[in-house]
Structure 1
Amino acid sequence: MMNKVWILLFALVAMVNAADSLSFVIHADQNGGTGLKYEYKNCTATKCILFWQDSIKREGYIFQGWTLQKDALDTFYVAGSRIELPSVADGDTITFYAKWFEVKKPKKVNGCYQIANANELYGLAYTVNGQDSFEEESNICAELIADIVVNKNVLDSKDSLAADAKRLLQWLPIGNSYHHFSGRINGKGHTISGLYFDNSQQGVIALVGYAKDSVIIDSLGIVDSYFVGENSIAGFVGGTSTHTKVAINNSYVHMTIKGNMAGGLVGMVRDSSSVSVSRSHYSGLLTHYNKVYELGGLIECVGPKSVIQIKDSYNEGYVYTSYHESLSDSVIVGGLIGSVGELSGIFTPNEKYIDTLIIENSCNKAPLESSGEVGGLVGRIFSKYSVIKNSYNTGELNGLTSVGGLVEYMSGTMVMSNSYNSGALRGGKKVAGLIARIEDSDLNISTSYNTGNVVAFDRGGYVSPDASGLIGILSESKVKVANSYNQGSVQEEYGERTLKGAGLIKTQNVGASFKNSYTVGSALAYDALLTCQNCEFPDMFENVFYETLTADDSVVAHAPEDFTNGTIAYLLNSFRGDGVNGQVWGQKVGTDPYPVLNGAGVEGYNPGKTAIRAMKGPAKKAKFGIYDVKGRFIPNMNPRHRFQKFLLLPPQR
């Protein structure tokens, strides 16, 4: 009968006061499709369960389910659905219509596809992927001319899946492993909402799946969307081939992303590529599906020999992995980037570095939690040259192993300036306010600081906890720190016993130097002073100020009032030497509890009051130390010790 297929389905109708049953006819109208396969069960008069398991097919369309009204827009039923039937009598006929989503090829204006609705957005994907009767094209230009809605109300207020997943139209990424996307998508200030994909066995899922050559995404928002996949799961670009340029400008993503390797905006970037993220951000929920390797608030990971620039951008999405010991190995979470260089261990040690990483005027604002390592901005960095400038982390960071307020691990050359961490940090291995672990590096830090509390805890004797205010553990590195400070409390927890950690750096190291800096909140500048209060003060500190007491509390290097009354700020601001200019410091006495890096000088300081006080004569056999007028420790007065660098003067009045 024409193109219609009639199917007889007998059902038992349970009547309330009768044992009789009814039988009726169900007519399945394919509505233009072919190849129907089905399985059915008995129906009742009030409810029926559809068991058509295999979708029928239609060229240029996506099968969504069955509806009682032909071409209904929103109401349809899928396999396994319980549906309300109209009242039926014995022998009646009920017609179900196949519901189709039409894929439409958008029109070009001045060589650029104009996307006005979801049908044309899928048409763009079909065109790039060469699917069905759509002729494949490369080097695409596309523009949104309206807000696009694919599915409605996908997420709830907690970024969990709210809609019935069986009724959601699944997204088809633009570009796949055989047909890469290259070109430009200009959102022109519009949004795409309701993208949905859920297949934990499939990877490289995003608005654009695979990218090649050059990809630009501009002025576009993705909202109310939900992706679950294996790896390379992201909002804008899932993965790239080698030698690919990706630029994301003035754009944002708010959605839930779950993948073993995932990024808020960009997934895996292969080697010898470049990525530029400018004035863009991610928000929502970013987590793992099963296993987990790397998660990055903006970018998942970047391969060697690449160039990365992140400017005026931020993450405020909650990024986390399950806090479990079994997942602690090789798990990396970064507020902006999971890892830079050393992609999947493919490359030799000499090949694992990227060329350049620049992070400027960018930040992480959200909590990060990992069963492994956490970096407020970047998890791991292997870079020939890196710059972190005017950037910060304010999110609370928790890791089962190492945690760095800005960077967990770095190897290479880096310049950091005008950057800070203010989030609370807690980890089960090495924890530091700025960078937790440094290896084979040349690092220069200036005008940067930490105000977040730092806690390293003992994982049952598995790893001895190390906590420090700015820098953690060094290995074969050169580190210079100038005009910087720590105000956060620093603690190491050993079960019920808590010790103070290091204020500036965890270990004494000949490759490190600190100039014109200070620490409060932790009693020590570096941990060697824990057991050696009267050891020779190392050359690594110059004009460095800190509160410290001997074991019997008989010696004060700098009293708390020295930091509040402007004395320390005056000494910091007055320092000049070896390229370090102290004029970056300032303090408004009575308002600022500590010196700050505002360059305003010291307001309200009274130099007539002595701040570095003369030490009272110690009791017999008591431990003591001698400090100069600037508060620098003077070694034990023994000819065998080097103390000629210091001049002992009476306090200035």
Structure 2
Amino acid sequence: MKVTKMISRKMAGGILLGFLAVAGIVTGSQGSVTVYAAEELQGSGTAEDPYVITGSEDLWKFAEIVKASSDRNECAKVADGVTEIDTTVRGEKKDLTWNPIGDSSGSYKGVFDGNGAEITIHADRSINNNAGLFGILGSGGEIRNVTTAGSSKGWDSVGGICGQACSDAKIVNCNNKADITAQGGQAGGLAGYASSAQIESDTSISNTGAVTGTANVGGLVGQASGGMKVIVHEGILNSGAITAKSSGYVGGLIGYADLASIQADADIINTGKISSMGSNTSMGAGGLIGYGIDISIISRNGMLQNKGEVTAAITSVGGIGGHMTSSDNSNCQIQAAKGVINTGRITGKNSVGGVVGEYAYSAPMTSMDGFILNRGAVEGNGDNVGGVIGRMGSNSDGSKYGNMGDVTNTGKYTGGVIGSWDSNTSLENSFNIGNVVVTGEDAADVGGIAGRFTGVNIKNCYHTTEYPLIGNGEAEKDEITGKISNCYCMEKNTLPWDGEITKTTKAFTDGEVAYLLDGSGDSRRAELIWGQKIGTDQTPVLGGMTVYQDGSIYSNADGHHYGVPQYTWSESDMSCTARRICEGCENEESETVTASYTEEKAGCETNGKKEYKAEFKNPSFEVQTKTIMTDSLGHDVTDAVWSKDEKAHWKDCKNGCGKKLEQAEHTFQTIIDRQATESTEGSSHEECSVCGYQKAAVVIPVTGKEETTNEQPSNTNTLTVGQVVVNKADGSFYTIKKNAGKVHEVEYKAPKNKKQTKIAVPDSIKINGATYKVTSIAKSAFKNNKKLKTVTIGKNVSKIGENVFSGCKKLKTITIKSTKLKAKTLSKSTFKGITKATTVKVPKKKLSAYKKLFKSRGLSSKVKVKAY
């Protein structure tokens, strides 16, 4: 029976309940089926018209449709625009456990297209097998464009995408973020078990979830067989922690593989921690492959690389592969265009290597443009421990192996590159610059390149350890004789083998050894393998910069071997001379060129800069530059006249930078142009005491018969607060402050002119017959009166404004009769400009108080304050 539709919400509730009662479908504990009244799924479930999944409810319905189907080949696609589906929520129900689609009663054979969505599951089949978004993906089944998240648990065959993928099933463009746990074995980020299946991607694939099982645990697939293939057009990445809890067969990509292949155009990388908690009888832990039989892993245009720590107490542990072996399949290979590299720390018991723990392929590891290189620390606790390979049992030669990490072991057969070489083949063009350290009673057979070597020969290799090239004992000396050629060690190696040439540290650093590794004289090969950037590289480098020989001199240049050029600028900086001298024959090359320059002139506030550039015709001389900085000019207002407008005045910088300097608002004082008389009007104007800006003149009315007034009206009550009047008695200007009832007060505003040498601020003045107390002195009242020598301040003054005495350079005496001054009636700049040449006299009873008061308001302690 094939179910293609769900019950419509449009059906009457009674009909639905009746149907459920007759059918015997119930809701309850695990194993029962929950039926939801809902709209039909869009689509018919065929490949041409798949069901449309719009959310969690639809996905649950689809799972129920497939479960009820006899063929289990229904197809579905997540709707466009749906990016996330959380199956732990269905309607009002939460924390739901997902039932995988397809199981042992019938595998899924349809096509499910996630359309790029991330689907969160909580699959928990702890006592059952085949857990994942799908349980078993069978013949013709295909899952594409899905990323799984959440968690998936089961006994065996547990994955994020599916528990099992077999019989030509496909997983396409899928990734996993879910944490995977198998109580038994076969746990993988995409599939727990894959046989004769294919994993492929138009872009890249990745696993970021933690994967845990007892054995056969991998970031992509736990166990692969039957020619399973992984084909990716970009790269492959595992960053999740991969753990085998009680055995081996654990890898960043595949835990256990028997006849499989992995191929990517770009890098294949593991960055996750790989762990095995198994005993020493277990085997196979690797950054990419744990245990591989007849498996190829190829990066066509990138690298094979492990960056994660690989930690185990078992046999066959390596950065790329733990145990790699082949039966009669000669096509198996480990190959990468740009290098096979390990940088992670590798820890194991027996057969431990930075790249591979045990290697027994018929074909060698190769890299077209790179090398087989280990940079991580390698630690063993048994036999066969090497910087690159722990135990070599391959029937192929090894070449371009390099180790830069420290190698430590407590057992036998420890080497900087190979722990034990047990095949009838050769090793060449390899090196070790890592430390080799052995401890313990069982430690034996230690070599700078190989701990034990029974192959054909070793040639064109070097190491920097204190040990001999290979660690074979004295009893095997005859077997080794003649097998070592053109290999080099440092002076600290006191027991070199026949054919192992001792060289000084200088010979390693100055390029001599790099040159000799490719042969010399007629035996020097045409296609060089070794090189070294002299002065930078401390030892020879595979594929390094070419080294040339001229007598006893080695350099990176053919012919003369010049030292570092020296450059000298002329005194004017307009020319530069380059010189270099050949270290062999002292031939000198020199060239002098005229420098070009660009200039940024200094501004008033910015530094200037002149940049010189000398370019030489000789390509061996580098372009030289020199920068000369000049200080900023600073603004210049020397002899500058004031610029002004109706609000302010300023001085323009003479350098033309446009900066307005010393800008301030006008300080006006009233100037009497003509005094008014009883019969003739007068005139006055306000003029800035700083820049001379003048406001329009104003008329001073005739005085009339009242001699005590000038411009004031005849009636006191007609004067308004703020009105400026002129006191005829002293010609000074006053501002009306209070004029109500019997209270009349004015503020001393300004003297009649700035030529006065003496000014007395009276106690009061008379206006139109009324007496006005002088209670304050306006700000800037005497400012810039350069002839003023004495000032007397009346007894009614209780407030003195800002900058009253500023600019009064000849001021000698200030007599203050008032006893009413307080801190709040004095400005902090009231006494600004008063120097020690001025004496301030105050009432005797206020002497002590005024000294403290004036000092707090800015009067210099150098100014004398005394009683009169």
Q: TM-score range by the shorter chain?
A: 0.5 to 0.7
1:336 paired with 2:288, answer yes
Q: Distance in 2 between matches of 1:147 and 1:172?
A: 21
Q: Which amino acid aligns with 1:282?
A: N
Contact 1:200–1:228 (Cα < 8 Å) also in 2: no
Contact 1:519–1:547 (Cα < 8 Å) also in 2: yes
Q: Which secondary structure state, in structure 1, belongs to the residue aligned with residue 72 of structure 2? A: coil
Return closer, same or farther for 1:492/1:196 CA change in 2, 3 Å cut-off: farther
Spell out, residue by residue over 1:10-41, the C-alpha distance to the aligned partner (whole angstroms, 9 max, x if none): xxxxxxxxxxxxxxxxxxxx9x996577xxxx
Q: Distance in 2 between matches of 1:398 and 1:378?
A: 13
1:472 paired with 2:399, answer no
Contact 2:346–2:378 (Cα < 8 Å) also in 1: yes
Spell out, residue by residue over 1:610-642, the C-alpha distance to the aligned partner (whole angstroms, 9 max, x if none): 99xxxxxxxxxxxxxxxxxxxxxxxxxxxxxxx
Q: 1:379 aligns with which of 298, 322, 339?
A: 322
> Hey, what does 1:295 align to over in structure 2?
250
Spell out, residue by residue over 1:411-437, the C-alpha distance to the aligned partner (whole angstroms, 9 max, x if none): 231222322111111011221122211
CA apart distance, 1:452:
1.1
CA apart distance, 1:231:
1.1
Return closer, same or farther for 1:534/1:334 CA change in 2, 3 Å cut-off: closer
Contact 1:397–1:423 (Cα < 8 Å) also in 2: yes
Contact 1:212–1:240 (Cα < 8 Å) also in 2: yes
Return closer, same or farther for 1:587/1:474 CA change in 2, 3 Å cut-off: closer
1:396 paired with 2:348, answer no
Q: Distance in 2 between matches of 1:578 and 1:271?
A: 48
CA apart distance, 1:586:
1.7
Return closer, same or farther for 1:420/1:35 CA change in 2, 3 Å cut-off: same
Return closer, same or farther for 1:376/1:203 CA change in 2, 3 Å cut-off: same
CA apart distance, 1:567:
0.6
> Hey, what does 2:467 align to over in structure 1?
523
Higher relative contact order (CA 8 A, sep 6+): 1
Q: Distance in 1 between matches of 2:77 and 2:525?
A: 51
Q: Distance in 1 between matches of 2:171 and 2:27?
A: 40
Q: Distance in 2 between matches of 1:329 and 1:542?
A: 38
CA apart distance, 1:121:
5.0
> Hey, what does 2:485 align to over in structure 1?
542
Q: 2:211 aligns with which of 246, 249, 257?
A: 257
> Hey, what does 1:454 align to over in structure 2?
407
Q: Distance in 1 between matches of 2:200 and 2:403?
A: 32
Q: Distance in 1 between matches of 2:503 and 2:39?
A: 75
> Hey, what does 2:429 align to over in structure 1?
483
Greater shift in the superposed pair: 265-274 or 116-125:
116-125
Q: Which amino acid aligns with 1:264?
A: G
Return closer, same or farther for 1:219/1:273 CA change in 2, 3 Å cut-off: closer
CA apart distance, 1:598:
2.8
Q: Which secondary structure state, in structure 2, belongs to the residue aligned with residue 443 of structure 1? A: coil
Structure 2 gap ranges (5+): 1-12, 15-20, 129-154, 556-583, 586-868
> Hey, what does 1:84 align to over in structure 2?
none
Contact 1:205–1:234 (Cα < 8 Å) also in 2: yes
Question: Structure 1 vs Structure 2: percent identity of aligned residues?
Answer: 24
Return closer, same or farther for 1:406/1:188 CA change in 2, 3 Å cut-off: farther
> Hey, what does 2:237 align to over in structure 1?
281
Q: 1:238 aligns with which of 178, 182, 192?
A: 192
Contact 2:493–2:502 (Cα < 8 Å) also in 1: no
Number of aligned residue pairs? 485
CA apart distance, 1:465:
3.2
> Hey, what does 2:306 align to over in structure 1?
364
Q: Distance in 2 between matches of 1:149 and 1:303?
A: 35
Contact 1:490–1:500 (Cα < 8 Å) also in 2: no
- Aligned 1:29-44 pairs, distance under 5 A: none
- Aligned 1:494-643 pairs, distance under 5 A: 494=440, 501-509=446-454, 511-528=455-472, 538-547=481-490, 549=492, 557-574=502-519, 583-602=528-547, 607-609=551-553
CA apart distance, 1:568:
0.7
Contact 1:572–1:582 (Cα < 8 Å) also in 2: no
CA apart distance, 1:263:
0.8
Return closer, same or farther for 1:557/1:235 CA change in 2, 3 Å cut-off: same
CA apart distance, 1:148:
3.0
CA apart distance, 1:238:
1.7
Q: Which amino acid aligns with 1:444?
A: D
Q: Distance in 2 between matches of 1:568 and 1:453?
A: 22
Spell out, residue by residue over 1:328-353, the C-alpha distance to the aligned partner (whole angstroms, 9 max, x if none): 21232111111112xxxxxxxxxxxx
Please say which structure displays the higher CA radius of gyration: 2
Q: Distance in 2 between matches of 1:248 and 1:372?
A: 34
> Hey, what does 2:83 align to over in structure 1?
147
- Aligned 1:46-61 pairs, distance under 5 A: 54-55=29-30, 57-59=32-34
Q: Distance in 2 between matches of 1:359 and 1:408?
A: 20
> Hey, what does 1:409 align to over in structure 2?
358
Q: Which amino acid aligns with 1:519?
A: H
CA apart distance, 1:365:
1.1
Contact 1:502–1:523 (Cα < 8 Å) also in 2: yes
Contact 1:333–1:379 (Cα < 8 Å) also in 2: yes
Q: Distance in 2 between matches of 1:285 and 1:101?
A: 41
Q: Which secondary structure state, in structure 2, belongs to the residue aligned with residue 255 of structure 1? A: coil
Q: Which secondary structure state, in structure 1, belongs to the residue aligned with residue 226 of structure 2? A: coil
Q: Distance in 2 between matches of 1:216 and 1:499?
A: 50
CA apart distance, 1:195:
5.0
Q: Distance in 2 between matches of 1:606 and 1:221?
A: 58
Q: Distance in 1 between matches of 2:524 and 2:59?
A: 56
Q: Which amino acid aligns with 2:348?
A: G
CA apart distance, 1:563:
1.0
Q: Which secondary structure state, in structure 2, belongs to the residue aligned with residue 413 of structure 1? A: coil
Q: Which secondary structure state, in structure 2, belongs to the residue aligned with residue 569 of structure 1? A: helix
Q: Which secondary structure state, in structure 2, belongs to the residue aligned with residue 571 of structure 1? A: helix
Structure 1 gap ranges (5+): 4-29, 38-53, 62-99, 154-165, 342-353, 458-463, 612-651
CA apart distance, 1:56:
8.2
Q: Distance in 1 between matches of 2:79 and 2:540?
A: 51
Q: Which amino acid aligns with 1:367?
A: E
> Hey, what does 2:223 align to over in structure 1?
268
Return closer, same or farther for 1:56/1:432 CA change in 2, 3 Å cut-off: closer
Greater shift in the superposed pair: 102-111 or 357-366:
102-111
Contact 1:188–1:220 (Cα < 8 Å) also in 2: no
Q: Which secondary structure state, in structure 1, belongs to the residue aligned with residue 256 of structure 2? A: strand
Q: Which secondary structure state, in structure 2, belongs to the residue aligned with residue 568 of structure 1? A: helix
Contact 2:547–2:554 (Cα < 8 Å) also in 1: no
- Aligned 1:403-442 pairs, distance under 5 A: 403-417=352-366, 418-429=371-382, 430-439=384-393, 441-442=394-395
CA apart distance, 1:253:
1.3
Spell out, residue by residue over 1:304-349, the C-alpha distance to the aligned partner (whole angstroms, 9 max, x if none): 4x44445522111111123x7xx221232111111112xxxxxxxx
Q: Which secondary structure state, in structure 1, belongs to the residue aligned with residue 516 of structure 2? A: helix
Spell out, residue by residue over 1:428-470, the C-alpha distance to the aligned partner (whole angstroms, 9 max, x if none): 122112221133x31232223111111112xxxxxx3321111
Spell out, residue by residue over 1:200-224, the C-alpha distance to the aligned partner (whole angstroms, 9 max, x if none): 7611111122212334434333225
- Aligned 1:66-215 pairs, distance under 5 A: 110=48, 116-120=54-58, 130-131=66-67, 133-134=68-69, 136-138=71-73, 145=80, 146-150=82-86, 168-181=95-108, 190-193=117-120, 195-197=122-124, 199=126, 202-206=155-159, 207-215=161-169
Q: Which secondary structure state, in structure 2, belongs to the residue aligned with residue 442 of structure 1? A: coil
Return closer, same or farther for 1:292/1:192 CA change in 2, 3 Å cut-off: farther
CA apart distance, 1:576:
9.6
> Hey, what does 1:40 align to over in structure 2?
none
Q: Distance in 2 between matches of 1:469 and 1:393?
A: 15
> Hey, what does 1:649 align to over in structure 2?
none
Q: Distance in 1 between matches of 2:349 and 2:243?
A: 16
Contact 2:412–2:446 (Cα < 8 Å) also in 1: no
CA apart distance, 1:376:
1.0
Q: Distance in 2 between matches of 1:398 and 1:104?
A: 54
> Hey, what does 1:20 align to over in structure 2?
none
Return closer, same or farther for 1:244/1:319 CA change in 2, 3 Å cut-off: same
